[in-house]
Copies of this chain bind each other. A is one copy, B any other.
């Protein structure tokens, strides 16, 4: 039906759309093929098996997430700027692909052994973040906390509202639009929850303006 060598990436992009955006976490090859407007057999032609297609998406999703994580937290900037950027990027990204974390977690549960992901233990990044965190603590802008808990707090506050979108929407009675506004508000809230002081007006902060 659709010609040419872009078919492979068409299938991959469609599969992402179906799994990550639509949230059809059990999507069959038929559903993916239909959505892409290609024949089901082509999925096997390009990806050998459904399992292999899923594994490919899974690895790419993790690689992308890892890159964002390391790029932002590894950049040469004050901790406050890093955190503000982290919040901004992760919330915006998750808004576009609301179910990607559900997918990743589901896959990791499904095959607990094959999981690779990445580990920041004993890395240079960890040492540098630790120094920056200690500095903020001694300045009094952050309450005493271990680096691990600090990072988990940050991830929790950013990711949970996306992950649990349907729960939040019903508990707090939010429309689709209300939810979107809520997520944007959250950027400031998360920052204020983590830091004792607020960002000053006029600083070059990408998230708060």
Contact = CB atoms under 8 A, between A and B. Distances in A.
A161 B156 contact: yes
Given A119-B173, A156-B157, A170-B115, A149 B189 contact: yes
Nearest to A99: B109
A102 interface: yes
Interface residues of A, number: 49
Contacts of A23: 109-110
Nearest to A109: B23
A102 B109 contact: yes
Given A102-B105, A115-B170, A121-B172, 7 more contacts: A104-B167, A108-B166, A118-B170, A119-B171, A145-B192, A145-B193, A157-B157
Contact of A159 (B101, B108, B160, B172): B160
Number of copies: 2
Interface of A: 23, 25-26, 99, 101-102, 104-106, 108-110, 112, 115-121, 143, 145, 148-149, 151-153, 155-157, 159-161, 163-164, 166-168, 170-173, 182, 185-186, 189, 192-194
Given A121-B173, A172-B120, A189-B149, A105 B166 contact: yes
Nearest to A188: B149
Nearest to A149: B189
Contact of A109 (B145, B157, B166): B166
B167 A108 contact: yes
A153 B148 contact: no
A156 B166 CA distance: 14
A186 B151 CA distance: 12
B167 A119 contact: no
